[in-house]
């Protein structure tokens, strides 16, 4: 049995609509059922993605295929989006009690249904984005993702911090969308095309002026810089990450960022014939690395720390973009998926009991050795200790940088890696060195525990055997 | 298979301890079995052969050509032997642990496993990765069970070593990339075969990056400040393993990679290296004399003695390089024993300030004897393998370009290095006098001697260093085939 690639997105969309429909008429049943349904449904789509029609060698470039591609990179990131969404939904089930507290509807379950249904739409958007090779398509899928995030970010709206986060995200995101559309207009105006391959062909023609196209590209870069949290478009990140419901923060920091990088890789390809773009990206990477890592040093709130760490990792990924190392970026993103989601999952469990400051993790090793160990692995991987996926990710990125002789980036990279060890190990110190404030254990559902074990296994397995990921990209 | 067992068994034991196996017994058995396995490998090793023996290989990534390859030659065999000995002694010396006993033993085993894995790996990727396995356990060991300013010390060592390792990683990637595409490999054997393909102009840069990376790990002057602080704060078994074994990884790396692969790079930077190592011997040596606490003094002395080993590496002669290998082994054993005894003294008296101690020889005869032997070894008295190593290093360095009418940089370095021997005699004997001789302070009247059972690890360590002191040929015979190829390849 084989399936055509676009069926996957359609299946996810149908799943989302069905969940929403049933939710309307099902007042009595436990709303968490919908989350389980969604997890199973997305899992089924994930499995289905391994039975795709092998794409034709020469993809036709007209009609549907002029804005949709099913190349290995696209398929890879569709799976990436599915895995992310599944883990986020698991986290959301754990987070449900906090959502319940914050929403006062007619029943005690009000709002939960939408909370579980919206990520499915986000997932569909992320999957479209992975396949988009036309500016119009990129714009539409990006908007699908952003719209659902508008709602998700401000979901626990009784909390003033969340509300603030929601407003900040809404306004800045809308602004960045404006930049995107404006940029696309310029590029279209110069080349008369929206398809990326044809834009590239048009740009190679010396009769086409590169100045206006470059300006358009700059605008697009602003919009994408916002998505991937690159400096100087990162101002929203700490506040929104801290204020949003934790699973949504995790989703933003993994799903949204990964999709941003895929689009960035695709969009930049035609423009790399222009040398200005490379210099600009090097500057962007340098600023992002330095800002993310230096600003993370004094943080005392773990959620905020992870926000800065997310900026920092965008910096390493940008090194990969500068070197046009698609494989390295994909690998790094997979590592980033596991380690970031794992740290957020532990955060959700611990924050429910004490809070989300680093202090609240004091003595976690005694209160819950398993959670402490999970966090230790996540932090080790984020810092880049060998035998974890995060190390191999950095290894690939810096290998690409050495191959391209980007000396400045390498030197700054060494400094920032050292910073990283400090702020990630701060969490380890709290968990293992400090005495616990109370000695109550941390409750953990069986599903969450299973998900954490899966992520730990993923981090360690990929830290030793990178080959499966490399094969998946071919 | 034997090597696979040596590398993986301590990790398995550590995991078992974390999952709840009886901590001390499991760790002791694991260390004992590992030592036995290394001794078996020692007996099964054929010294005459060139190249690596007992090679096992498992593919990891075909795209990157990474394999999990283990194998030993004489040099790595001696490093394994040192690691197993110190590991065994460190586990045995571990006394009562007040809190998190299981985690303590697991951390110790992880450090040892990291060192064993690094020394047995023939693949650069695992060579590097195994060494870093010790990073988190060290952070935890010093941070949780340390004494004094443990937090600052733990931060310092972690940031220093993480940065050093990362620089090293960049150096290794540069080394990998300097080869023409078809010849690229992470396999040390392949690298050694195709060493001639590395362009001469690239060698200098790579060697410098490797020297800084490895240098930070070995506390080469001026990157040494992490070491005394960390060793003074660390619990004794951790200091034994780290100062005795793990730190030697950097020296091993220089001997294994930098010398044979980058001979011209080494030539370019030799002057710099000699200046820096004289900083280790003279400057740090004088700093050591000024120390008022026994643990700080030992920490600085271990930094100072690295200078001799660097001198052997820089000497550019077969004699000096072999001497460096002997000295790595000898120093590992003597410093481990010194840290072990000083840890025992701290546990009993609660202080290591030398002015507050005294006369312990009367009530701790066993500790006094063991410390005395280790101190003599550390100074380099004849009979101990430290003497052999230092003599070989000094003669080797002196011989490089020796000209009776004119002293070159090697000859000057040797002369200054000889002064280092005097310096180490000064601080070691002064420390011995103020701790073990003189009047016994009244407050220390009830201090007890070492446990009787500790005679076993102590005599094991002393016997080893005496054996290789009296019969250095049995050691040199093992390592020279490795080094000979370096020097014949150059000519």
**How many Cα neighbours within 13 Å face the side chain of B356?**
12
Q: What is the DSSP letter of A55?
A: P
Percentage of chain B lying above the pLDDT 70 cut: 99
Q: How many CB atoms lie within 10 A of CB B391?
A: 17
Inter-axis angle of helices A135-153 and A112-131, nearest 10: 160
Same-domain status, A280 and A379: yes
pLDDT in tens, B197-214: 888 888 888 999 999 999
Specify the pLDDT at position B393: 92
What does the alpha-carbon distance between residue B232 and residue B342 come to, in Å, rounded to a whole number? 10
Asked if residues B88 and B35 have their Cβ atoms less than 8 Å apart, the reply is yes
Under a CB-based contact definition with an 8 Å cutoff, are residues B379 and B428 in contact? yes
Cα separation, B459 vs B118, in Å, equals 27
- What's the total number of domains in chain A? 2
Q: Enumerate the residues of chain A whose CB falls inside 8 A of the CB of residue B63.
A: 466-467, 470
Quick one: A460 and A412 in the same domain? yes
Q: What is the per-residue pLDDT across A212-225, written as a single tens digit (0 to 9) for each?
A: 888 888 999 999 99
Separation between Cα atoms, residue A44 and residue B263, nearest integer Å: 58
Torsional sign, CA A39, A335, A422, A316: negative
pLDDT in tens, B96-120: 887 888 888 999 999 999 999 999 9
Q: What is the pLDDT of residues A154-181, one digit of tens each?
A: 888 888 889 999 999 999 999 999 999 9
Nearest by Cα to A289 from A249, A259, A320: A320
- The boundaries of the domain holding residue A83 are 1-171+232-260
Residue A438 has pLDDT above 90, yes or no: no
Q: Which of B60, B124, B132 to mutate to test the interface with A (most CBs of A within 10 A)?
A: B132
Q: Is residue A226 part of a domain?
A: no
Using alpha carbons, select from B323, B245, B310, B314 the residue that is nearest to residue B79. Answer: B245
Indicate the helix (H) or strand (E) that contains B55.
Answer: strand B53-61
Give the model confidence (pLDDT) of A88-97 as tens digits.
Answer: 999 999 888 8
Distance between alpha carbon A390 and the CA centroid of its chain, in Å?
A: 15
Residue A325 is assigned to a structural domain of this protein: yes
Structure tokens at B409: 């940089």
- Looking at the complex, report in whole angstroms how far the Cα of residue A398 sits from the nearest Cα belonging to chain B: 8
Nearest by CB: B170 against A410, A432, A467: A410
Most confident of B19-28, B233-242, B394-403: B233-242
What whole-number distance in Å separates Cα of residue B203 and Cα of residue B265? 5
* Closest residue, chain A, to B168 (C-alpha): A414
User: Rounded CA gap, B9 and B12, in Å?
Assistant: 5
| B162: chain A residues, CB-CB within 8 Å | 383, 417-418, 421
Beta bridge partners of residue B353, listed in sequence order: B293
Pair (A399, A458) in one structural domain:
yes
Which residue among A417, A422, A470 places its CB closest to the CB of B63? A470
Arithmetic mean of pLDDT, B479-487: 82
Residues of chain B positioned with their CB less than 8 A from the CB of A428: 136, 139-140
CA distance A13 to A183: 29
Task: Identify whether residues A333 and A243 lie together within a single domain.
Answer: no
Chain segment B278-337, per-residue pLDDT in tens:
999 999 999 999 999 999 999 999 999 999 999 999 988 889 999 999 999 999 999 999
The helix or strand, by DSSP H or E, that contains position B92, with its residue range, turns out to be helix B74-93
**Same domain? A353 vs A246:** no
**Is the omega angle on the peptide bond into residue B49 within 30 degrees of 0, that is, cis?**
no
Give residue A246's pLDDT band: very low, low, confident or very high (50, 70, 90). very high
CB pairs under 8 A between A and B: 79
All residues at 6 or more sequence positions from A395 whose CB lies less than 8 Å from its CB, including other chains: B169, B173
Q: Which chain B residue lies closest to A403 (C-alpha atoms)?
A: B177
3 state SS of A232: coil
Residues B239/B279, Cβ–Cβ less than 8 Å: no
- Are B268 and B204 in contact by the 8 Å Cβ rule? The answer is yes
Our measurement of the distance from residue A375's CA atom to the centroid of its chain's CA atoms, rounded to an integer in Å, reads: 19
Asked if B17 and B102 count as a contact pair (C-beta separation under 8 A), the reply is: yes
Q: What angle do CA B312, B314, B318 make, to 5 degrees?
A: 60
Higher per-residue pLDDT: A211 or A38: A38
Average pLDDT rounded to a whole number, residues B391-397: 91
> Minimal CA–CA distance to B108: which of B144, B55, B149?
B144
CB–CB contact B158 A428 (8 Å): no
Which residues of A fall within a CB distance of 8 Å from B159? 418, 421-422
* Count, residues in chain B: 491
Distance of CA B30 to the CA centre of its chain: 21
Tokens in use for B117? 């894995």
CB B386 within 8 A of CB B334: yes
Nearest CA in chain B to A405: B174
Helix, strand or coil, per DSSP, at residue B35: helix
Does B48 have pLDDT greater than 50?
A: yes
Coil, strand or helix at B388: helix
Compare all CA atoms of chain B with the CA of A469 and give the residue at the minimum distance: B61
Q: Is the peptide bond before B18 cis (omega within 30 degrees of 0)?
A: no
Q: Does any domain span residue A317?
A: yes
Closest by Cβ to A432, choosing from B64, B129, B143: B143
Looking at the structure, tell me whether residues A241 and A359 fall in a common domain. Answer: no
Query: Which residues contact residue A20 at a Cβ distance below 8 angstroms, ignoring those fewer than 6 apart?
Result: A113, A114, A117
The CA distance from B301 to B326, in Å, is 18
Give dist(CA B411, CA B402) in Å, integer. Answer: 7
Is residue B365 predicted with pLDDT exceeding 70? yes
Closest alpha carbon to B145 in B108, B92, B115? B108
Mean pLDDT of A59-86: 85
The DSSP letter of residue A441 is P
Distance from CA of B167 to the nearest CA of A (A): 7
| Chain B, nearest residue to A465 by Cα | B60
Q: Report whether pLDDT(A416) > 80.
A: yes
* Residue showing tokens 């990964």: A258
CA distance B270 to B274: 6
**Which of A384, A391, A407, A421 to probe the B interface (max B CBs under 10 A)?**
A421
Residue A198, in any domain of the structure: no
Q: Which residues of A touch B (CB under 8 A)?
A: 365, 376, 380, 383-387, 391, 395, 398-399, 402-403, 410, 414, 417-418, 421-422, 425, 428-429, 432-433, 464-467, 470
Task: Enter the DSSP assignment of B69.
Answer: E
Question: Which residues on A lie below 8 Å from B61 (Cβ)?
Answer: 465-467, 470
Q: Which of A338-352, B340-354, B359-373 has the highest mean pLDDT?
A: A338-352
Shortest alpha-carbon distance between residue A312 and chain B (Å): 17
Q: Is A247 among the domain residues?
A: yes
Q: A-chain residues within 8 Å CB-CB of B155? A: 422, 425
Residues A251 and A279 in one domain: no
Residue B98: list chain A partners with CB under 8 A: none
Q: Which secondary-structure segment (H or E) carries B171?
A: helix B150-178
| A319, A391, A425, A456: best to mutate for the B interface, most B CBs within 10 A | A425
Q: Are A261 and A186 in contact (CB under 8 A)?
A: no
Residues A354 and A405 placed together within one structural domain of the fold: yes
pLDDT grade, residue B491 (50/70/90)? very low
Considering the domain architecture, whether residues A244 and A280 belong to the same structural domain is answered as: no
Does the CA dihedral A173-A174-A177-A183 come out positive or negative? negative
The count of other CB atoms within 10 Å of the CB of residue A122 is 29
**A271 touches A183 (CB < 8 A):** no
Beta carbons of A398 and B132 less than 8 Å apart: no
Task: Tell me if A358 sits within 8 A of A430, measured CB to CB.
Answer: yes
Confidence of residue A273 (pLDDT cuts 50, 70, 90): low
Q: How many other β-carbons are positioned within 10 Å of the β-carbon of residue A141?
A: 22
Q: Which of A391, A362, A388 is nearest to A377 (CA)?
A: A388
Decide if B159 and A421 are in contact by the 8 Å CB cutoff.
yes
Is B489's pLDDT higher than 60? no
Best CA proximity match to B162, nearest among A380, A462, A398: A380
pLDDT tier at A56, thresholds 50, 70, 90: low
Select the residue of A384, A403, A422 nearest B177 (Cβ to Cβ).
Answer: A403
**Which of B100, B129, B136 faces A380 most closely, judged by CB atoms?**
B136
**Which pLDDT belongs to residue A58?**
62
| Residue A52: half-sphere exposure toward Cβ, Cα within 13 Å | 21
pLDDT digits (tens, 9 = 90+) for B128-161: 999 988 888 999 889 888 888 888 888 999 999 9
Q: How far is A186 from chain B (nearest CA, A)?
A: 41
The shortest C-alpha distance from B190 to chain A (Å) reads: 20
- Residue A323 CA to residue A318 CA, distance in Å, equals 8
Which residues of B lie inside 8 Å of A (Cβ-Cβ)?
A: 60-64, 66, 100, 103, 128-130, 132-133, 135-136, 139-140, 143-144, 151, 155, 158-159, 162-163, 166-167, 169-170, 173-174, 177
Range with the lowest mean pLDDT among A56-65, A98-107, A128-137, B411-420? Answer: A56-65
* Alpha helices by DSSP H, B279-402: 284-289, 294-314, 318-349, 360-363, 365-379, 385-399
Look at residue A134 and give its three-state secondary structure: strand
User: In angstroms, rounded to a whole number, what is the distance separating the alpha carbons of residues B235 and B213?
Assistant: 26
Residue A252's CB: how many other CB atoms inside 10 A? 25
- Examine residue A307 and state whether it is found in any structural domain, yes or no: yes
Nearest to B279, CA basis, from B236, B202, B225, B338: B225
Mean pLDDT, range B363-377, rounded to an integer: 90
| B32 burial level (CB within 10 Å; 0-12, 13-18, 19+) | middle
Q: What is the pLDDT of residue B36?
A: 92
**Contact criterion met (CB < 8 Å) for A432 and B62:** no
Inter-chain contact A422–B155, Cβ cutoff 8 Å?
yes
Q: Under a CB-based contact definition with an 8 Å cutoff, are residues B72 and B53 in contact? A: yes
Distance from C-alpha of A82 to C-alpha of A86, rounded to nearest angstrom: 6
What H or E segment, with its residue span, contains residue B473? Answer: helix B472-490
pLDDT (mean) for A118-139: 92
Neighbours of B157 (CB within 10 A): 23
Å from B62 to nearest chain A CA? Answer: 7
Encoded tokens for B418: 């000889």
Place of tokens 């507050």: B356
Question: Could you tell me if residue A298 is inside a domain?
Answer: yes
For B231-272, write each residue's pLDDT tens digit: 988 998 999 999 999 999 999 999 998 888 888 888 889 889
Backbone angles phi, psi at A71, to 5 degrees: -75, 170
In this predicted structure, what is the pLDDT of residue A159?
85
Residues A49, A14: one domain? yes
Nearest to B221 by CA among B154, B153, B302: B302
Q: What is the mean pLDDT of chain B?
A: 88
Task: Calculate how close chain B gets to A455, using CA atoms only, in Å.
Answer: 19
Picking from B170, B202, B210, B212 by the largest number of A CB atoms within 10 A of its own CB, the best residue to mutate is B170
Position A106 in a domain = yes
Residues A4 and A84 in one domain: yes
A294 to chain B, closest Cα gap in Å: 15
A241/A321 same-domain check: no
Asked if B173 and A387 come within 8 Å (Cβ–Cβ), the reply is no
Q: What are phi and psi of A184, to 5 degrees?
A: -60, -40
């Amino acid at each position: 049995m084989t399936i055509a690639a676009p069926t996957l997105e359609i299946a996810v969309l149908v799943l989302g609509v069905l969940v929403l429909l049933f939710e309307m008429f099902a007042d009595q049943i436990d709303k968490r059922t919908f989350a389980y349904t969604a997890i199973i449904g997305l899992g089924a789509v994930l499995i289905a993605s391994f039975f795709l029609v092998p794409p034709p060698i020469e993809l036709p470039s007209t009609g549907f295929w002029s804005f949709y591609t099913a190349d290995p990179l696209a398929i890879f990131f569709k799976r990436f989006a599915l895995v992310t969404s599944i883990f986020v939904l698991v986290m959301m089930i754990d987070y449900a009690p906090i959502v319940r507290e914050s929403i006062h509807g007619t029943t005690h379950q009000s709002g939960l249904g939408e909370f579980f249904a919206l990520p499915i739409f986000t997932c569909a958007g992320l999957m479209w984005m992975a396949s988009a090779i036309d500016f119009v398509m990129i714009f539409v899928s990006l908007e699908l993702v952003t719209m659902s995030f508008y709602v998700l970010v401000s979901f626990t709206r009784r909390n003033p911090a969340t509300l603030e986060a929601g407003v900040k995200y809404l306004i800045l995101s809308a602004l960045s969308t404006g930049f995107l559309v404006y940029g696309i207009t310029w590029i279209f105006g110069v080349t008369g095309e929206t398809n990326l391959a044809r834009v590239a062909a048009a740009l190679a023609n010396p009769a086409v002026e590169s100045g206006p196209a470059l300006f358009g590209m700059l605008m697009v870069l602003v919009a994408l810089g916002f998505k991937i949290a690159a400096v100087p478009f990162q101002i929203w990140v700490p506040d929104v990450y801290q204020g949003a419901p934790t699973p949504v923060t995790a989703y933003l920091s993994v799903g949204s960022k990964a999709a941003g990088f895929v689009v960035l890789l695709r969009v930049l390809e035609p423009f790399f014939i222009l040398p200005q773009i490379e210099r600009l990206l090097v500057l962007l990477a340098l600023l992002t690395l330095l800002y993310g890592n230096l600003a993370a040093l004094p943080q005392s709130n773990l959620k905020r720390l992870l926000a800065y760490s997310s900026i920092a990792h965008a910096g390493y990924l940008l090194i990969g973009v500068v070197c046009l190392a698609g494989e390295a970026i994909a690998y790094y993103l997979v590592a980033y998926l596991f380690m970031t989601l794992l740290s957020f999952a532990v955060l959700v469990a611990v924050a429910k009991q004490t809070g989300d400051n680093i202090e609240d993790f004091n003595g976690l090793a005694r209160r819950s050795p398993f959670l402490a160990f999970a966090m230790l692995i996540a932090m080790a991987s984020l810092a880049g200790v060998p035998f974890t996926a995060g190390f191999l990710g950095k290894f690939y990125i810096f290998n690409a940088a050495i191959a391209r002789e980007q000396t400045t980036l390498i030197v700054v990279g060494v400094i920032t890696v050292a910073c990283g060890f400090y702020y990630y190990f701060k969490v380890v110190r709290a968990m293992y060195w400090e005495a616990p404030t109370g000695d109550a254990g941390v409750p953990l559902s069986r599903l969450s525990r299973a998900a954490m074990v899966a992520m730990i296994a993923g981090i360690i397995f990929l830290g030793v055997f990178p080959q499966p990921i490399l094969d998946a990209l071919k | 298979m034997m090597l696979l067992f040596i590398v993986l068994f301590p990790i398995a034991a550590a995991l078992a301890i974390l999952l709840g196996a009886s901590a001390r017994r499991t760790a002791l058995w694991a260390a004992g079995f590992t030592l036995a396995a290394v001794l078996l490998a020692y007996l099964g090793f054929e010294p005459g052969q060139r190249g690596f023996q007992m090679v096992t290989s498992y593919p990891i990534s075909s795209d990157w050509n990474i394999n999990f390859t283990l194998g030993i030659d004489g040099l790595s065999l001696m490093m394994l032997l040192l690691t197993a000995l110190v590991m065994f002694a460190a586990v045995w010396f571990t006394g009562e642990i007040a809190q998190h006993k299981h985690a303590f033993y697991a951390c110790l085993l992880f450090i040892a496993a990291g060192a064993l894995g690094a020394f047995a790996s023939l693949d650069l990727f695992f060579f590097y990765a195994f060494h870093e396995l010790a990073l988190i356990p060290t952070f935890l060991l010093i941070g949780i069970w340390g004494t004094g300013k443990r937090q600052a010390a733990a931060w310092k060592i972690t940031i220093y070593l993480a940065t050093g390792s990362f620089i090293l990683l960049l150096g290794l990637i540069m080394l990998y990339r300097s080869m023409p595409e078809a010849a690229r490999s992470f396999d040390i054997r392949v690298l050694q075969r195709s060493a001639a393909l590395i362009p001469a102009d690239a060698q200098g840069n790579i060697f410098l990056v490797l020297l800084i990376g490895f240098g930070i790990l070995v506390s080469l002057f001026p990157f040494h400040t992490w070491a005394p602080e960390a060793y003074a704060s660390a619990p004794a078994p951790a200091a034994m393993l780290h100062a005795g074994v793990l730190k030697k990884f950097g020296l091993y790396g220089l001997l294994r990679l930098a010398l044979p692969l980058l001979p011209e790079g080494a030539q370019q930077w030799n002057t710099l290296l000699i200046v820096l190592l004289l900083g280790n011997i003279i400057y740090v040596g004088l700093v050591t004399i000024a120390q008022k606490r026994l643990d700080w003094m030992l920490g600085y002395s271990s930094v100072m003695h690295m200078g001799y080993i660097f001198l052997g590496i820089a000497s550019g002669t077969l004699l000096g390089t072999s001497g460096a290998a002997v000295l790595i082994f000898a120093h590992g054993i003597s410093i481990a024993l010194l840290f072990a005894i000083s840890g025992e003294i701290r546990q009993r008296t609660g202080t290591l300030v030398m002015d507050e101690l005294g006369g312990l020889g009367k009530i701790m005869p066993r500790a006094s004897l063991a410390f005395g032997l280790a101190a003599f070894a550390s100074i380099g008295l004849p009979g101990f393998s430290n003497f052999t190593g230092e003599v070989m290093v000094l003669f080797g360095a002196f011989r490089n370009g020796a000209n009776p009418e004119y002293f070159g940089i090697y000859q000057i370095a040797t002369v200054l290095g000889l002064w280092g021997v005097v310096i180490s005699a000064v601080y070691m004997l002064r420390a011995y006098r103020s701790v073990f001789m003189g009047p016994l302070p009244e407050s220390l009247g009830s201090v007890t001697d070492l446990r009787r059972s500790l005679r076993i690890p102590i005599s094991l360590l002393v016997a080893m260093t005496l054996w290789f002191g009296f019969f250095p040929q049995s050691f040199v015979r093992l390592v020279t085939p490795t080094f000979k190829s370096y020097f014949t390849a150059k000519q």
